[in-house]
Amino acid sequence: MRKQIAAANWKMNLDLKGAEKLMDEILEQYQEMPDGHQAIFAVPFPYLLMVQDKLSGRKGLYAAAQNCAATGNGAYTGEVSADMLKGMNIPYVIIGHSERREYYHEDNQVLTRKTDLALAAGVSPIFCCGEPLHIREAGTQNRYVEQQLTESLFHLSADQITGFIIAYEPIWAIGTGKTASSDQAQEMHRHIRSVFAAKYGDAVAGSISILYGGSVKAANAADIFGKPDVDGGLVGGASLVATEFVGIMNSLKK
């Protein structure tokens, strides 16, 4: 079975003491992950080494960056390169989060460069895709998400795509008062897998972990993760509460 993943995205939250406390509370309840399961903690840049240290030697628990630069090292004040992440032994980086696309105007071409730089450095992308409300209301979400994937990822080889991590974010269901059902999540995840199958074949598509990123909580995680093409979640607000995130970790498919 492909990897089942609970990925925490802390976004720009917590001071250092709060970050340390949250990690300690989670690790008090979860020392390591079972075979085939992973928990990934995407934390602000200043906390990466602290989290990396706390997770050291623990099976299936990993740190991740929330972003990387679209350039290599150089005169880019304030940026963090994929090579720098590799030098810190950070194994994962989120690329293309909806907030980066919306607030920082990162288009599919920028995300192609980030993906290539991360892979060249040996850092595995967690690549995000998803449609806003007006696209969902128009009924063109499948074509929209397919375009995000094909324009940013389809230059990669089958070997590079094998075992890749995709995170689907229904932006229309985040902070809008609208709710995405587990069936709607499965519908899009199935479509995403079919897009990869058409390009790379069923075996490669079947190796890809597709995470759901639409307001996952401990209360709904088991229902969402129980769908056949949902391989875990990319979790925002609920990842800032130890009991919530541990409940989500426990809800991954066995």
Compute the half-sphere exposure of residue 20: CA atoms within 13 Å on the CB side of its CA: 7
| Gap between the Cα atoms of 6 and 143, Å rounded | 27
| Gap between the Cα atoms of 192 and 220, Å rounded | 22
* The residue count for the chain: 254
- Partners of 211 in the β-ladder: 167
Can 191 be counted among the known catalytic residues? no
Alpha helices (runs of H) in the chain, residue ranges in sequence order = 16-29, 48-55, 82-87, 98-103, 108-121, 133-138, 141-153, 158-161, 182-200, 202-207, 218-225, 242-250
Angle between helices 242-250 and 218-225 (to 10 degrees): 20
Q: Are 39 and 249 in contact (CB under 8 A)?
A: yes
| Gap between the Cα atoms of 107 and 180, Å rounded | 25
| Gap between the Cα atoms of 10 and 122, Å rounded | 23
Can 97 be counted among the known catalytic residues? yes
From the candidates 131, 169, 189, 244, give the one annotated as an active-site residue: 169
From the candidates 97, 99, 189, 244, give the one annotated as an active-site residue: 97
β-pairing verdict for 232-235 and 61-65:
unpaired
Q: What is the CA radius of gyration of the chain?
A: 17
Give the catalytic positions in this structure: 97, 169
